Amino acid sequence: MDVKIEAGWKEILKNEFTKDYFQQITAFLKTEKAQGKIIYPPGPLIFNAFDKTPFDNIKAVILGQDPYHGPGQAHGLCFSVPDGVPPPPSLVNIYKELNTDIGMRIPGTGNLTKWAERGVFLLNAVLTVRANEPASHSKIGWMEFTDNVIKKISSGKEGVVFLLWGRFAHDKQQLIDETRHHVLKAAHPSPFSADKGFFGCRHFSKTNHLLSQSGIDPIDWSVS
C-alpha cells in the first residue's frame, strides 16, 4: 500500500513499509474493511501523529496504548479527541495534573493537536482498533512498527523527553538510549491508577526543565 504519511517520516520509515509484517497489517485492515468492520481512526488519520509532528520537530514523546474505540473519538493522537468530543477520563486526569503542575486552566476541549504541532509526538503503540472492541488490533503487527519508530527516534535524535505512563509504556524504556535522551515514568492517568503516582508526577514542568537544560525551547502545554 502507498502509505500516506508526512514526507520526512516516509523517508525514515520506508524500509518498514516494505517488510512482511507491515504488508500483513495492510492485508488485515483491508480484510476487516471488506467484511464491513468499522475501524478507528478513519484511514486518513491513522498516521496523524506522524503528520502533525515531523521527525525533526520532536521534543517529547507521550506513549499511549490503543486508540479510543468509540465513535468519533480516535483521530490518531494518543489521549486526544477531536473538538466537540468530551475529554475521556484519562485526559481529564492529565488536565488535572497540568493544572496542579503548571497552573494551566482546565481546557474545554480534548483536542491535543496543538501539542503535536509544538513537538509532542503523541504515539499510540497500536494505531488502529475495531469499533467497540478495545485492543482488537493489538496483535496484528503494529507493536513491531511502533517499537521500531521509538528506536528510530532514540538513534536519530538527541535530548528527547519520553513520558512513559503505566506499566505498558514502562516496558518501552528498553528501546530508548538513556545516554542520549530523558525518560520520565509515572503511573497511568486512568482513574484506576492516577492516584498511584500520576498525580504529583509534575512531568510537564520537568519536561520543560530538561529541554531548557539542553538548550531546547520549552513546550507550551496549552491546547489552544
Do the Cβ atoms of 172 and 195 come closer than 8 Å?
no
CB neighbours (10 Å) of residue 41? 22
66 included as an active-site residue: yes
Comparing CA positions, the residue from 136, 108, 126 lying closest to residue 67 is 126
Assigned C-alpha cell, 184: 520520565
In this predicted model, what pLDDT tens digit does every residue of 92-147 receive, in sequence order? 999 999 999 999 999 999 999 999 999 999 999 999 999 999 999 999 999 999 99
Catalytic residue among 2, 66, 83, 171: 66
- The reported pTM is 0.97
pLDDT at position 223, please?
A: 95
pLDDT at position 2, please?
A: 62
